[in-house]
Amino acid sequence: MIRLGSNSPTRAKILKDFGIDFVQNGGSFDEDSITTQNPKEFCYIATKGKFDELFKQYGVDDMPLLVADSVVTCDGKLLRKAKDYDDAKSMLKLQSGNKTSVISCMIYKSKNIELIDMSITTYEFAKFDELDMKNYLVSGECFGKAGAIMVEGFCKPYIKSVKGYESTAMGLSIEKLLAFL
């Protein structure tokens, strides 16, 4: 049994799909407190901030703690979760017909081991169909996802090439974690 220190339904689904027993206790780390716009730095600082908050609250005596953060970078820009419809639309337009990378960082700590991993999955997308994009935006599925993208959903038909794990792009590099445990 592990403690998933995340509010993310996607991360919970990934653990569930891989048969890992967990309790889910997300924190309230304020990612707006991070000043850097460097995507990797931002992702690490966010992960560390989430970890420090939840390690202080729960420790690891009763079970290991796992936290993670994901950001998207496209054309050198840092894309976090979209704030609103227009923000999501501009993120999607930037990534349409473009190369984009999802960076996921995770920290796993038990009584005797600690893993810090940062992985990147890079996609080349075909141009998004305008009507398809509008429907995706209206559906609201674009919210709560770094860069407003959903690689296993909306983006799937547009993937021209991919380098890296899909799990990394969804927010938790589960294969890396399992290889370590």
Task: Give the catalytic positions in this structure.
Answer: 69
Nearer to ligand DGT, 60 or 165 (CB): 165
- Joined together, the tokens standing for residue 136 give 């995706």
Determine, following the binding rule CB under 6 A, whether residue 122 of this chain makes contact with ligand DGT: no
37 φ/ψ angles, rounded to the nearest 5 degrees:
-110, 5
Neighbouring CB atoms inside 10 A of 93's CB total 14
CA–CA dist 19, 39 (Å, integer): 31
CA–CA dist 91, 81 (Å, integer): 10
Build a one-symbol-per-residue string for 134-163: x at contacts with ligand DGT by CB under 6 A, - elsewhere.
----------xxx--xxxx-----------
Q: How many residues bind ligand DGT (CB under 6 A)?
A: 21
C-alpha dihedral sign at 129, 135, 141, 146 = positive
Neighbouring CB atoms inside 10 A of 13's CB total 14
Determine, following the binding rule CB under 6 A, whether residue 62 of this chain makes contact with ligand DGT: no
Given 2, 3, 8, 101, the residue binding ligand DGT (CB under 6 A): 8
Q: Which residues pair with 65 in a beta bridge?
A: 3, 109
Determine, following the binding rule CB under 6 A, whether residue 6 of this chain makes contact with ligand DGT: yes
Binding segment for ligand DGT (CB under 6 A), chosen from 67-75, 83-91, 109-117, 132-140, is 67-75
Determine, following the binding rule CB under 6 A, whether residue 173 of this chain makes contact with ligand DGT: no
Determine, following the binding rule CB under 6 A, whether residue 26 of this chain makes contact with ligand DGT: yes
In order of 45, 106, 160, the CA distances from 125 in angstroms are 28, 26, 5
Nearer to ligand DGT, 93 or 112 (CB): 93
- Residues near ligand DGT (CB under 6 A) are 6-8, 10, 26, 50, 68-70, 81, 102, 144-146, 149-152, 169-171
